[in-house]
Amino acid sequence: MTQTSDNVTWLTQEAYNQLKAELDDLSGPARTEIAKKIEAAREEGDLRENGGYHAAKEEQGKQELRIRQLQQLLERAKVGETPPDDGVVEPGMVVTISFDDDPDDTLKFLLGSREYASSEVETYSPQSPLGRGVNGKKVGDEAEYELPNGKLAAVRILEAKPFTG
């Protein structure tokens, strides 16, 4: 989980290790693999009409962009601890909220950076309207945030637990 402030990205050790492993794979074995795909497609002849070549070059471009993003992120990363299990909403917490005091209309999400988004739970940035609205609140508190149409939505914090991966 991450929190970004003043160009510093705070990461748990687990998040740092996961992102570093992705970078190592992309800049090592994955980079070699895409180079082989490009070379194989190049050997097929005319590059102007070679769909495999163009697809491989596009994949290479996306991969190189991701490598640069990860390098920049990890260069400014500060490794910290998982937030305490004290019921206070902060980056690194999995938060459950209810809308309009309806306990059946709930949303569970990780408050953190999309760089460490999880397939297990949706991720909302602390800088998003919802993230700003709930950040710093405690279980049982009400919070408001601005909807895209400019109206305010009210939510109640039902649960806030540290993200465990």
| Range in 3-7, 43-47, 55-59, 73-77 the model is least confident about | 3-7
Give the DSSP letter of residue 160: E
CATH number (1.25.60.10, 3.10.50.30, 3.40.630.30, 3.40.1000.10) of 93-162 reads 3.10.50.30
Residue 117, pLDDT above cutoff 90: no
Enumerate the domain spans of the chain.
Answer: 2-80, 93-162
107's torsion region: left (phi>0), alpha (psi -120 to 50) or beta?
beta
pLDDT on residue 6: 45
Write down the pTM of the prediction. Answer: 0.58
**Which one, of 64, 68, 62, 110, lies nearest residue 90 by Cα?**
110
Question: Does residue 118 have a pLDDT over 80?
Answer: no
Average pLDDT value over all residues in the chain:
84
Give the per-residue pLDDT at 114. Answer: 64
Name the CA radius of gyration of the chain, rounded.
Answer: 21
Asked if CATH classification 1.10.287.180 holds for the domain at 2-80, the reply, yes or no, is yes
User: Given a cut of 50, is residue 32 above it in pLDDT?
Assistant: yes
